[in-house]
């Protein structure tokens, strides 16, 4: 089974930029109730979608004070746990970051390791790519970052 995820957050001054659980040097961070890790959010939604569950907002409501500032790696861990509770295992995840800046290639390996660890899978089963929006739209104007992800899950005990 497969699921898709999409997330977007706007840039804001005064916050660190966290992508894939890695703090990346940049003039702005992303606005959000948690650490606003758009990459982890898209991956979590893909996993939850693959097993027929609601999105992360259901499990981590934006207004919940217990979720304020939490690491999105914890959100990934909880998505993986929910997947397991329902009798599935994560086979592979693949994600694309859409941003004009910053360049994320130097941080890709660390992101793959963080996401793999949070999901309980090998970093080789985590795909991360980045692209620009060719200077079009809010991403092109460098107002924020978007991410898309797909997750493949399988029955723990095949039929």
What would the pLDDT profile of 26-84 be if each residue is shown by its tens digit? 999 999 999 999 999 999 999 999 999 999 999 998 888 888 889 999 999 999 999 99
Express each pLDDT in 83-110 by its tens digit.
999 999 999 999 999 999 999 999 999 9
Residue 150 near residue 93 (C-beta atoms within 8 A): yes
In order of 88, 141, 156, the CA distances from 49 in angstroms are 12, 30, 17
Give the pLDDT of residue 63.
Answer: 85
Q: Global pTM? A: 0.96
State which CATH number among 3.30.1330.50, 1.10.275.10, 3.30.70.1230, 3.40.50.2020 fits the domain covering 2-155: 3.30.1330.50
90 exposed, middle or buried (CB, 10 Å; 0-12, 13-18, 19+)? Answer: buried
159 pLDDT tier (thresholds 50, 70, 90): low
The terminus-to-terminus CA distance of the chain in angstroms comes to 13
> In the chain, what is the greatest distance between 2 CA atoms, to the nearest angstrom?
51
Alpha helices in the chain (DSSP H): 38-50, 56-59, 72-85, 108-119, 137-140
């Amino acid at each position: 089974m497969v699921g898709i995820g999409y997330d977007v957050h706007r840039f804001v001054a005064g916050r660190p930029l966290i992508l894939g659980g890695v703090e990346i040097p940049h003039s702005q961070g992303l606005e959000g109730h948690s650490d606003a890790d758009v990459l982890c959010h898209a991956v979590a939604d893909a996993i939850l979608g693959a097993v027929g569950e609601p999105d992360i907002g259901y499990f981590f409501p934006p207004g919940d004070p217990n979720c304020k500032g939490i690491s999105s790696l914890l959100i990934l861990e909880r998505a993986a746990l929910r997947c397991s509770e329902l009798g599935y295992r994560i086979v592979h995840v693949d994600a694309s970051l859409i941003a004009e800046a910053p360049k994320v290639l130097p941080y890709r390996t660390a992101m793959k390791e963080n996401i793999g660890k949070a999901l309980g899978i090998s970093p080789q089963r985590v795909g991360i790519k980045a692209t620009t929006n060719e200077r079009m739209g809010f991403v092109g104007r460098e107002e924020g970052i978007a991410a898309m992800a797909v997750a493949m899950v399988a029955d723990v005990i095949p039929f």
